[in-house]
Every structure is written in structure tokens, then in C-alpha cells.
Structure 1
Amino acid sequence: MVLTLLIGAVIAIGLASRRGYVPFPAVLGNYPGDALWAWVVLLCVAWLRPAVTRGKLMAWSLVIAFAIEFLQLYQAPWMQALRANKLAYLVLGNGFDPLDLLAYVVGIGGGAMVDRLWERRQRRLA
């Protein structure tokens, strides 16, 4: 339940950041939103595979995020038509940017740190 709520919250913050409602420094451009997107990938993998180790969680999340970024190099008409759908556009993106890969590493690494801190807090409370 907590994971589902966190996924929703991170998506909301990411969408708000794209509309300018979350004040990230302008110099960062869209990269904070990209990092949040990658964190959502991590959260979704954790939701689908709750027993996976943190290392595997990070590895799978990076593979998925990088694969989707490299898929943006593929510009077939049917793929462009798919990306015309708002939801597909938000998931698949459009236009390869190598700096997005760095944002994904930051987002997934930050998400893994939050997971570790949450786990430590839960152990302390138990």
C-alpha cells in the first residue's frame, strides 16, 4: 500500500515539475523530471518484485530505463504514432538525450537510498 502511494506521489511531483509547479532550478532543465521518472521505474520494479534484493532492483531498473531511452533512437512511423498518445509519450519519451542516462542513474540511486533509509527506520521501530 505504501509503495503504491509513493508511486502516485512521485508521478504527481514529476508531472508538476514538467508544468513548472515544482521549483527546480532552471539550469537543471527537464533532468529532475527524468530522475523522478527513473525513480518511478524503480518503484514499479519493487512493486512487481517485492522480494528482489536492492542491487538487483537497481540493476533491473537501470536496464529498463536505459532500454527505453535507447528506444527513443527508433523513429519508425508506428512508434511515432504510439508516442502521440500522451500516456505512451510519458512512458516512452521522444528524442534520445545521453544526459538523460545520468539523470536515470541519479533517480534510481536516490530511490535506492530512500529505500535503504526506510528499511533502517522500519528495523529501528520493530
Structure 2
Amino acid sequence: MLKNNRLSYFILILIVIALGITSRKMEGVPTFFGDTLYAVMVYFGMRMILIYLNLKKTAILALLFCFAIEFIQLYSAEWMLQIRRTKFGHYGLGQGFLWSDLGYYTLGIIIGFWMDSSWVRRK
């Protein structure tokens, strides 16, 4: 049963990544959409890894992770900047700190939590 849940979360992560990449290539899609999807992806990733943890604790950990990534953007050592210049470093660590991103991450975690808790209730 848990194996199937992990697979479900993995599939959800792939769908969210595809949506995020697509949103970057489409005109008219606001950039905050990607930040929100990033947080949804982090939430599902945490659920996949920490399958035994309850939903609320997972949401809190995912939010703390997203906030940590955002605050790390304030650190500008040359080695960190070199990582951020790579494609994966750019997508994973971002480029610059924005207070507004904290709100978008919060929204993304809420969306992921809502989707997850709705799915659990249906089961």
C-alpha cells in the first residue's frame, strides 16, 4: 500500500514539474505561478520520503524547507553563485531573495496539503 502511495506522490511530482516548466515557456503566466508550483512539488516530495509522517507535520517541514531555500538566497559566496548559474541550481536554489516568495510558497504548501488531505479523505 505504501509503495503505491510513494508512486502516486512521485507521479504528482512529475506532473507538477511539467506544469512548472510549461508555465515558464508560456507568455502571460505570472512568475509567481512557478514559485507556488515549486512549493507544491516540495510538499509532495516530502510526503513521498516521509510517508509515515502525518500531513500537518509534513506541511510544516515542507514550508520550513521552502523558507530555508529562500533565505539561503541572501548568501552570496562565489561558490554558491556558481551553483545558481547552473540550470538545476537556478531552479532548485533560485536567484534572489523576495519576501513575496514566502507567501507564494505558503500558498503552494496549502494547495499541496489540501490536495493530499482531500485524497486521503476519499480513500
TM-score (ref. length: structure 2): 0.91
Residue correspondence of structure 1 range 1-126 to structure 2 within 5 A: 1-20=7-26, 24=29, 29-122=30-123
Separation (CA, whole Å) in 1 of partners of 2:36 and 2:107: 6
Query: Which whole-Å CA distance do the structure 1 matches of 2:79 and 2:107 have between them?
Result: 31
Distance across 1 between alignment mates of 2:25 and 2:78:
28
- Cα shift at 1:19: 1.2
Percentage of pairs with the same residue: 36
Query: What are structure 2's unaligned runs of at least 5 residues?
Result: 1-6
CA distance in 2, matches of 1:33, 1:63: 18
CA distance in 2, matches of 1:71, 1:2: 30
Q: Runs in 1 of length 4+ with deviation above 6 angstroms? A: none
Q: Can you list the C-alpha shifts for 1:94-113, whole angstroms capped at 9, x where unaligned?
A: 10010000000000001000
Q: What is the rounded CA distance, in whole Å, between the counterparts of 1:43 and 1:88 in structure 2?
A: 20
Q: Give the C-alpha shift of residue 18 in structure 1.
A: 1.2
Equivalent residue of 1:78, what SS? helix
How far apart are 1:84 and its partner, in Å? 1.2
Q: Distance in 1 between matches of 2:64 and 2:82?
A: 25
Counterparts of 2:8 and 2:63, CA distance in 1: 22
How far apart are the structure 2 equivalents of 1:8 and 1:121?
A: 22
Q: CA RMSD in A?
A: 1.1
Structure 2 SS opposite 1:75 = coil
Whole-angstrom distance in 2 between the partners of 1:41 and 1:3 = 11
In the alignment, the residues of structure 1 paired with residue 95 and residue 83 of structure 2 have an alpha-carbon distance, to the nearest angstrom, of 11
Q: CA deviation at 1:15?
A: 1.0
> How big is the shift at 1:55?
1.1
